[in-house]
Amino acid sequence: MKQIKYLLLFLLIISFQSFAQKNNYVILISFDGFRWDYANRGITPNIEKMRDEGVSASSFQPCFPSKTFPNHQSIITGMYIDHHGIIANDFVDPFTGEHYRLSDKKVTSQSKWYRGEPFWETAKRNGIKTASFYWPGSNLDLEYRRPDYVKKYNQNFPYYARVDTVIKWLGLPYSKRPHFITLYYSLTDTYGHRYGPDSKEENFAIAHVDSVLGYLFSKIYETGMQDSVNIILVSDHGMTNISPDRTINIEKILTGTKYFLQESGPFVLISPLSGEKEKIYNRLKENENHYKVYTKENIPAYYHYSENPFIPEIIVIAEKGWSLGTSKQIENFKLHPDKGNHGYDNHLLDMHGIFFAWGHSFKKGYRTGTILNIDVYPLLCKLFGIIPNSKIDGKLERIQYILK
């Protein structure tokens, strides 16, 4: 009798998984640098549609550092940054001297840098076809580690045409049709850096990406698939105002010491040369003003930024709106000043992004508090009825309440 019960339960689970996969489509969209409060400016009617008809979070918390590539990996793998391995936009492998930099497409496509399992890899293993019209880390050199359909990044590719491609994918014969699709747009990040988060130019960028979202909605309704499609809209981080008058010269503070420095602006990573660690840390601690300095051992646990071997021995985090760097970096910053930046403490509200979810699987008109970006991966697994990778940091219990 017990065996029959277990068999029936097994068949029920298999049946549920099959139903969840066959009758479900999820489009995950990222608006890079779209701060948590941009949707409250009265210029985003299509995001407001998602808020009214679906789920909205008060904010979407990134991981530290609140940078683009690291947090897109956290969203898609459900892992903290020190676990998936993309510890910054630019960093060095201290064991080989190899340099990971987001501007180098050949390097960013090398699978060896990525320790996490992105959702499309999990989905493919479960027989679900996937596609990506851009997502950092989607174009890896190993076939099984990338989506079935991938577009190589080209920031100049027209925004509306990206939607048209997604709709074409959804119109493919069933056996070839992707059920999970990512979309990525960088405009709000670009304009936020260049003009600042409170500028009229940033408002233009906000309104423009919102209009693209509206175009996607209209196309989905044209296909008649609105009852099968779920849309999740997120951003990787927020943005805050900066000024060339608020800079801290790390090179001057550390005059006479020997070290290797990575990154600049909101945080810097310092690798002291042999025997210099205590001297460098003490010098930075004595001059601690508008920044905080930590060793890898004493950085607060809430940053989740200490367990990766690529993270250097000393981490310096600037106060919001201040910028760290060498003499050359600061000179360049003053000659070509940005007005906005991100990468600061991920608990600062200015660093938070957005989370909206719309579709047949989500509650209607449901508003909630802050959602962690590492919890999106287990949510995706739940939507498709598949088992998550066992190494994730995300937790379904923190997010599943938004589902019907």
Tell me if 284 sits within 8 A of 293, measured CB to CB: yes
Tell me if 154 sits within 8 A of 89, measured CB to CB: no
Tell me if 27 sits within 8 A of 357, measured CB to CB: no
Q: List b or e across 355-383, with b for residues whose CB sees 16 or more CB atoms inside 10 angstroms.
A: bbbbbebbeeebeeeebbbbbbbbbbbbb
Tell me if 132 sits within 8 A of 101, measured CB to CB: no
Among residues 56, 82, 81, 83, the alpha carbon closest in space to that of 68 is found at: 81
| Phi then psi dihedrals of residue 232, to 5 deg | -115, 120
How many angstroms separate the CA atoms of 20 and 24, rounded? Answer: 6
How many angstroms separate the CA atoms of 263 and 275, rounded? Answer: 22
pLDDT digits (tens, 9 = 90+) for 68-95: 999 999 999 999 999 999 999 999 999 9
pLDDT for res 18:
47
Q: How many CB atoms lie within 10 A of CB 307?
A: 11
pLDDT for res 15:
42
Tell me if 269 sits within 8 A of 315, measured CB to CB: yes
pLDDT digits (tens, 9 = 90+) for 238-287: 999 999 999 999 999 999 999 999 999 999 999 999 999 999 999 999 99
pLDDT for res 287:
97
Average pLDDT over residues 129-157: 96
pLDDT digits (tens, 9 = 90+) for 192-243: 999 999 999 999 999 999 999 999 999 999 999 999 999 999 999 999 999 9
CA distances from 246 to 192, 250, 325 (A): 18, 13, 11
How many angstroms separate the CA atoms of 212 and 166, rounded? Answer: 12
- Helix 376-384 and helix 68-77: axis angle, to 10°? 30
Among residues 57, 36, 345, 28, the alpha carbon closest in space to that of 188 is found at: 36
pLDDT for res 7:
52
Q: Over 80: is that where the pLDDT of 35 sits? A: yes
pLDDT for res 22:
61
How many angstroms separate the CA atoms of 118 and 55, rounded? Answer: 24
Q: How many CB atoms lie within 10 A of CB 65?
A: 27
CA distances from 71 to 141, 342, 397 (A): 21, 12, 21
Taken in order of first residue, the domains within the chain and their CATH numbers are 17-241+347-402 (3.40.720.10), 247-337 (3.30.1360.180)
SS3 360: coil
Looking up tokens 């180098």, which residue turns up?
104
Tell me if 84 sits within 8 A of 78, measured CB to CB: no
Q: How many CB atoms lie within 10 A of CB 306?
A: 16
**Residues with active-site annotation:** 68
pLDDT confidence band for 5 (50 / 70 / 90): low
Number of separate helices (H) and strands (E) present in the chain:
13, 20
pLDDT for res 285:
98
pLDDT digits (tens, 9 = 90+) for 309-365: 999 999 999 999 999 999 999 999 999 999 999 999 999 999 999 999 999 999 999
CA distances from 360 to 101, 231, 363 (A): 39, 10, 8
Tell me if 274 sits within 8 A of 286, measured CB to CB: no
Among residues 363, 401, 354, the alpha carbon closest in space to that of 52 is found at: 363
How many angstroms separate the CA atoms of 152 and 242, rounded? Answer: 32
How many angstroms separate the CA atoms of 26 and 234, rounded? Answer: 13
DSSP 362: B
Q: Which residues, including other chains, have CB under 8 Å from residue 344's CB and lie 6 or more apart? A: 65, 66, 240, 266, 267, 317, 318, 320, 350, 351
Q: In this structure, are strands 99-101 and 90-92 parallel, antiparallel, or unpaired?
A: antiparallel
Q: In this structure, are strands 25-31 and 180-185 parallel, antiparallel, or unpaired?
A: parallel
Longest dimension (CA), the chain: 78
pLDDT for res 396:
98
Tokens of 91: 């960093």
